[in-house]
Amino acid sequence: GESVGLHLPTLSVQEGDNSIINCAYSNSASDYFIWYKQESGKGPQFIIDIRSNMDKRQGQRVTVLLNKTVKHLSLQIAATQPGDSAVYFCAGGSGGGADGLTFGKGTHLIIQP
Amino acid sequence: GAVVSQHPSWVICKSGTSVKIECRSLDFQATTMFWYRQFPKQSLMLMATSNEGSKATYEQGVEKDKFLINHASLTLSTLTVTSAHPEDSSFYICSASEQGTPYEQYFGPGTRLTVT
């Protein structure tokens, strides 16, 4: 079955620096990927998504890169702020959105002052 | 827009009792709703997919007779945990997608279930 995993469970960065969170996936049938941010005790919050026919997408302070050759995607957060502290999950979907998402293990991003 | 609510936000129940969790799309019609479970410090695991007016599709390993899902309207889905046991204690999160934009799943705030 499909699995989506993250390389690092915890990432600590200085405030103002850029953060890069990585994710690997195994299911070639995944046709879109989403990054979510989850704060303690809350539901996931959408950050950015990317379709499988793209290799890069930019949002406000965030960029997602997709490398289908090695089945890898990353989330780049520019100029991290204290409010960016959270657990970040990548998730993969298929079936044109009809199927539920497969989530990775999560990376806890810690912003140091 | 695209707000999903859950009720209750937390619940404590005794072992053997049943608990119902509601998931509502407040400002859109949700043709599909998903239920996830998240244990502490773990990721979200998909439990089931429900389409309005249809029976839910459960993921492998999820007992359909224990986790009853009803999606009776385009704005409401319910998850009932029957004969709850302490191992059912978890964070239950629903998400919903709107017809026409199936790629966008909007998540609810979650319901913390504790079974004593």
HSE-CB of A7 using CA atoms within 13 angstroms? 11
A103–B45 CB contact, under 8 Å: yes
Query: Tell me: the pLDDT tens digits for A66-97?
Result: 999 999 999 999 999 999 999 999 999 987 77
Residue in A with minimal Cα distance to B93: A43
Beta strands in A1-113 (DSSP E): 4-6, 10-14, 19-25, 32-38, 45-51, 56-58, 62-67, 72-77, 86-93, 102-103, 107-112
Q: Is A35 helix (H, G, I), strand (E, B) or coil?
A: strand
Q: Which pLDDT score is estimated for A4? A: 58
Query: Tell me: the pLDDT tens digits for B54-87?
Result: 889 999 999 999 999 999 899 999 999 999 999 9
CB < 8 Å to B61, chain A: none
Calculate mean pLDDT across residues B103-115: 93
In chain B, what percentage of residues exceed pLDDT 90? 79
Residue A50 confidence class, pLDDT cut points 50, 70, 90? very high
Calculate mean pLDDT across residues A53-63: 96
The residue behind tokens 């950050």 is A47
CB < 8 Å to A103, chain B: 36, 43-45
Pairwise pLDDT comparison (A5 vs A21), residue with the higher score: A21
Calculate mean pLDDT across residues A35-50: 94
Amino acid occupying residue B12:
I
Task: Provide the shortest C-alpha distance from residue A17 to chain B (in Å).
Answer: 26
Q: Which pLDDT score is estimated for A1? A: 34
Q: Which pLDDT score is estimated for B36? A: 97
Closest to B8 (Cα-Cα) out of B115, B114, B116, B110: B110
Q: Residue B46 is nearest to which of A43, A98, A101, comparing CB atoms? A: A101
The contacts of residue A38 (CB under 8 Å, 6+ apart) are A44, A45, A86, A87, A88, A89, A106
The contacts of residue B45 (CB under 8 Å, 6+ apart) are A103, B36, B37, B38, B59
Calculate mean pLDDT across residues B96-101: 81
Q: Mean pLDDT score of chain A, rounded to an integer?
A: 90
Residue B105 confidence class, pLDDT cut points 50, 70, 90? confident
> Beta strand pairing status for B111-115 and B10-13?
parallel
Phi first, then psi: what are they for A83, rounded to 5°? -70, -10
Q: Which pLDDT score is estimated for B53? A: 83
Q: For residues A25 and B48, give the distance between their C-alpha atoms in angstroms, rounded to a whole number.
A: 21
In chain B, what percentage of residues exceed pLDDT 70? 99
Six-digit token string for A81:
């702020």
Phi first, then psi: what are they for B29, rounded to 5°? -95, 120
Kindly calculate the radius of gyration of chain B based on its CA atoms and give it in whole angstroms: 13
Q: Which pLDDT score is estimated for A6? A: 45
Look at phi and psi of residue B44 and say left if phi exceeds 0, alpha if psi is from -120 to 50, else beta. Answer: beta
Q: Which pLDDT score is estimated for A5? A: 52
Q: Which pLDDT score is estimated for B98? A: 83
